[in-house]
Amino acid sequence: MNPEYGKTRFDITLQPVSGKAVPVYRGEVLRISQVEGSQCVDFNCYNLHDYKEHMSVGPSAGFRKVKGDVVMTRHPKSRPMLAILEMPDSCVTDVIAPGCSAPLFKRRTGMADHTNCQHTFSECIAEYGLDAEDIHNSFNLWMNSAWTEDGKYFSSPSRNTGKKGDHVDFLALMDVLAVPVTCGGGDVSRGSNYWFKPVQIQIFETSDDLQNLTQDYTGRYLTKNSNEPAKPIRTKRELEPVPGYQPHFKNFPLKISEFSVELTDEDYHNLQILKQMGLGDDDEDAIRSAVIEWYVTNYNIADSPIRR
Ligand SMILES: [Zn+2]
């Protein structure tokens, strides 16, 4: 059953090559909709109370985000920021392209001062005292990027598949400053099918259903380190070493203790099979790998680093 949202408290249409920085409070829903279709949307997001804790954009748990996924904040806090409550199949997401820029279009097309997402982001976040250097990598919506098996990346090898009325709903799991922008590269790529189109931005107030969902999502992720106080922000640009500085790496240097493990004939036979499967270079390596793989894979099945 779909959750019931509160009433609409914000509703604007972003005209082409524009964007808007807008606070979305914990438990509210941000909706981004296609007005005409086939418009790529770039997206930045910050903790409303600490701009340094912004969205972490990267292929965590997959190169594509889908309905039900959670978007986290960057390290060191790494907290759940947004949950994707709705995402149509026509909305392919991209977490690799950093957001188009003037230098990119100059290189690609020779156009010296083309509209671009970096500039649009910068104009939007200036309303909150941030500038171009505070823009983080973009979470891209309706962007049909692709890559080849040997790792070559193409930002828009196929046409935009967004349809009129398609929408993506993000549930805010903390108070955020959301910054959606309509991609400024629309006219020179398949990313928005060689034209610029508007996008609708709405915010729905929270409701009992949304409060329950918020609790549910955050409960799955919170760790005891999540609320460490933020450190002061440095003001000096020049980088120079701190006199007498000594790093304190965790568990460094490692203390290694050796112990022996007795194996039955059957265990020893299985160990040889693991080595033949390429899961260990020698007996010691194979048994260590097998025990740790078993532990990690079963500790949290949903987050296992190994394909089952
Ligand atoms: Zn763009």
Q: What pLDDT, in 10s, does the model give residues 89-125?
A: 999 999 999 899 999 999 988 998 899 999 999 999 9
* pLDDT tens track for 225-235: 556 777 899 99
Co-location of 178 and 140 in the same domain: yes
* Distance of CA 254 from the midpoint of ligand 1 (Å): 46
* Distance of CA 217 from the midpoint of ligand 1 (Å): 30
Residue 255: band (very low, low, confident or very high) from pLDDT cuts 50, 70, 90: very high
Asked whether residue 212 carries a pLDDT value surpassing 90, the answer given is yes
> H or E segment at 218?
helix 208-221
Co-location of 287 and 176 in the same domain: no
What integer pLDDT is reported at residue 230 of this predicted model? 78
Residue 281 lies in a domain: yes
* Distance of CA 80 from the midpoint of ligand 1 (Å): 25
Hey, what amino acid is at 33?
S
Residue 234 lies in a domain: no
The alpha carbons of the chain give a radius of gyration, in whole angstroms, of 23
Residue 35 lies in a domain: yes
Domain with 275 in it:
251-308
* Distance of CA 184 from the midpoint of ligand 1 (Å): 5
Q: How far apart are CA 73 and CA 228, in angstroms?
A: 14
**Domain termination residue (choose one: 221, 243, 267):** 221
* Distance of CA 96 from the midpoint of ligand 1 (Å): 12
Residue 227 lies in a domain: no
Co-location of 103 and 171 in the same domain: yes
Co-location of 82 and 197 in the same domain: yes
Residue 256 lies in a domain: yes
Mean pLDDT of 232-260: 94
Name the burial class of residue 36, with classes exposed (0-12), middle (13-18) and buried (19+) by CB atoms within 10 angstroms of its CB.
middle
Residue 141 lies in a domain: yes
* Distance of CA 115 from the midpoint of ligand 1 (Å): 8
Which of 19-23, 205-209, 257-261 has the lowest average pLDDT? 257-261
Query: Average pLDDT over the chain, rounded to whole?
Result: 93
**Structure-block tokens of residue 111:** 């156009």
Residue 226 lies in a domain: no
**Domain termination residue (choose one: 204, 221, 238):** 221
* Distance of CA 98 from the midpoint of ligand 1 (Å): 9
Number of folded domains in the chain? 2
Co-location of 200 and 97 in the same domain: yes
* Distance of CA 81 from the midpoint of ligand 1 (Å): 23
Ion ligand 1, residue ranges at CB < 5 A = 100, 117, 183, 185
